[in-house]
Amino acid sequence: MPDVTVDGEAHAYVPGSTVAAILLAAGRRSWRSTRHGGRPRGVFCGIGICHDCLVTVNGLANVRACLREAAPGDAIRTGTTPDDEEER
């Protein structure tokens, strides 16, 4: 099985899995918090509409984890808010 890193920790995954699926399989129900109030966020809609599941993948901020299919070697960073990094 291929590996990705999540916050520096290696995780094996099944090819075709989304980043959200990898995070959920690792027991993570939330991986960022709102910028106002610090409320936890993770997968909510699961279809890319709500933006609750945003992560940074390979340095690219504001990636919807529910839509992004993981690729071998991806570096996934959680705990970001939409304005933590420049949107590209």
Report the alpha-carbon distance of residue 9 to residue 46 in Å, rounded. Answer: 24
Using one digit for the tens of pLDDT, what is the confidence trace for 8-28? 999 999 999 999 999 999 999
Cα–chain-centroid distance for residue 50? 14
Helix-strand-coil split of the chain, %, nearest 5: 10, 30, 60
Using one digit for the tens of pLDDT, what is the confidence trace for 42-76? 999 999 999 999 999 999 999 999 999 999 999 99
Spell out the CATH class of 3-77.
alpha beta
Give the strand order in the sheet containing 9-12.
Answer: 9-12, 3-6, 75-77, 54-57, 60-64
Report the alpha-carbon distance of residue 27 to residue 42 in Å, rounded. Answer: 11
Report the alpha-carbon distance of residue 2 to residue 17 in Å, rounded. Answer: 11
The full set of domain ranges for the chain reads 3-77
